[in-house]
Structure 1
Amino acid sequence: MFAPGEGPAPDPAGSHHERRIRSFQPRRSRVTAGQAEAMLKRWPDWGFDIDGKRVLDLGAMFDGRPVVLEIGFGMGEATAQMAGADRETGILAVDVHTPGQGNLLGLADRNGLDNVRVANGDAIILLREMLAPDALDGVRVYFPDPWPKKRHHKRRLIQPEFLSLVATRMKPGAVLHCATDWEEYAEQMLEVLSAHPDFENTVADGGYAPRPAFRPLTRFEGQGLDKGHVVHDLLFRRNAK
């Protein structure tokens, strides 16, 4: 689809990197001409592959801004809205969907959003291999794949092991913000987050949080609402060490 160095690699960390169950499915579906143009123009400066070979200097990458990691951004509309509304915060946006990567880069380019960087690949490898301890001022996981079949629940991202890893990369006091329209997954999220020693609920009664004003309605959220789904937000603070 792209010549080497011109865009995201199909498997940046290499399929040999590890043998574990992935919480995502790589998708390289059809890219529009506009998405391809944005990728060619902005990928060299604003995009990178998650290869697990280096530790990122987020201070240099985002000109000293505080940095929030967003895992899974779809087509990037909500990400671009949040970046435009808060240009003093850097957004490190991770996904494996090539059209979405191109779309977000196009939105960032057209709107002058130099506080967005697009990462292609596995967020677990990014967290484990490429981010320093206490590097992140926040983490966002909006509408992750619910893997509804019981035999696939082990593929869900919000698990105790993931929380232990992401906590090491978050500054004390940083907030992990999750949102889902899948009721049973929301219940699991609330259960595992409430039980994890590295996090505390920002809601006094220990339940779900109201949708913060800074989180736009996403495309996936709209689809869920159209089906009668109830959307749950969870905001948990990283405990002080």
Structure 2
Amino acid sequence: MSESRNTIPDALRPPIIRDRSEPRFPGGPAADPAGSHHERRIRSFQPRRSRVTTGQEDALQRLWPVWGLDIDGRRVLDLDEMFGGLPVVLEIGFGMGEATARMAADDPGTGILAVDVHTPGQGNLLGLAERGGLENVRVANGDAIILLREMLAPGALHGMRVYFPDPWPKKRHHKRRLIQPEFLTLAAGRLAPGAVLHCATDWEPYAEQMLDVLGAHPGFENTVDGGGYAPRPAFRPLTRFEGQGLDKGHTVHDLLFRRVPAES
């Protein structure tokens, strides 16, 4: 009798309510690393918590404590210690991480701090880094703006990459686009003089906006003589998003702008 009373059919069991602040995987990336201790803003990204494969889950649980970090905004990172003195490039948004892993393998003398909120991609990149022996990759989880504003020292970065950010195509959503004057001012403060901000997009109106705001910002200069878009540099692999855009007949534009020294 006691056994039958304690056995409740699954269909009748109350749903398990997970604390949204808890990580999905023990020891892995936090669901909301910055919590409520930093001001909220208009986000330029949508958190994506889609299905995680067994391999990605294994990588998150084993490797996150070694190569992962949550963007909590509570400390300034020591990039020299984290990357063993390598110059560091910040990559904002890396999808599933294939292009990031390729660039890390091709240039082991540069550290890549790769930021995204896509849990499967975080696990996939960690797995790629382990299989490739890529010790120059670190994976960050959370809002890149908080990372730049709160956790990086002035001039700490030797480059920044923003490949195929969300174009937010509807006019009422344009304020959510990442490449805006305010973002560029923040980025300029974290880039060393001469460091290059490299953007790429297959969305023509967004490319035009990027070119306009970068060209007007006093902290950057176009690396292309006479202005305009740059040819795709050899070091940027063909990304999954790029392939999807090309399949749709989109034109891909690269923009490479150099951080100019601040006027004294």
Q: TM-score, normalised by structure 1?
A: 0.98
* Alpha-carbon distance in structure 2 between the residues aligned to 1:114 and 1:40: 18
Match of 1:127 among 128, 148, 163: 148
Highest RCO, 1 vs 2 (Cα 8 Å, sep ≥ 6) = 1
- Deviation string, structure 1 residues 160-199 (Cα, Å, up to 9, x no partner): 0000000000000000000000000000000000000000
- Deviation string, structure 1 residues 29-87 (Cα, Å, up to 9, x no partner): 11100001111121101001000000000000000000000000000000000000000
Larger mean Cα displacement after TM superposition, 37-46 or 189-198: 37-46
What is aligned with 1:191?
212
Task: Point out the structure with max Rg over C-alpha.
Answer: 2
What is aligned with 1:167?
188
- Aligned residue pairs: how many? 239
What is aligned with 1:2?
25
What is aligned with 1:39?
60
5 Å-filtered alignment, 1:222-233, equals 222-233=243-254
Helix, strand or coil at the partner of 1:17: coil
CA contact (8 A) 2:224 2:230 kept: yes
5 Å-filtered alignment, 1:36-185, equals 36-185=57-206
Structure 1 position 21 matched with structure 2 position 31: no
Helix, strand or coil at the partner of 2:40: coil
Query: AA paired with 2:164?
Result: F
- Shift in Å at residue 19 of structure 1? 2.4
- Shift in Å at residue 15 of structure 1? 4.0
* Alpha-carbon distance in structure 1 between the residues aligned to 2:234 and 2:212: 25
Helix, strand or coil at the partner of 1:158: coil
Q: TM-score, normalised by structure 2?
A: 0.90
* Alpha-carbon distance in structure 1 between the residues aligned to 2:66 and 2:37: 27
Query: AA paired with 2:92?
Result: I
* Alpha-carbon distance in structure 1 between the residues aligned to 2:95 and 2:250: 19
Q: Which runs of 4+ in 1 moved over 2 A?
A: none
* Alpha-carbon distance in structure 2 between the residues aligned to 1:20 and 1:122: 10
Helix, strand or coil at the partner of 1:236: strand
The CA RMSD over aligned residues, in Å, is: 0.7
Structure 1 position 12 matched with structure 2 position 33: yes
- Shift in Å at residue 16 of structure 1? 5.1
5+ residue gaps, structure 1, are none
* Alpha-carbon distance in structure 1 between the residues aligned to 2:201 and 2:40: 28
- Deviation string, structure 1 residues 80-123 (Cα, Å, up to 9, x no partner): 00000000100000000000000000000000000000000000
Structure 1 position 238 matched with structure 2 position 259: yes
* Alpha-carbon distance in structure 1 between the residues aligned to 2:105 and 2:135: 10
Q: Percent identity?
A: 82
Helix, strand or coil at the partner of 2:160: strand
- Shift in Å at residue 2 of structure 1? 1.1
Helix, strand or coil at the partner of 1:141: strand
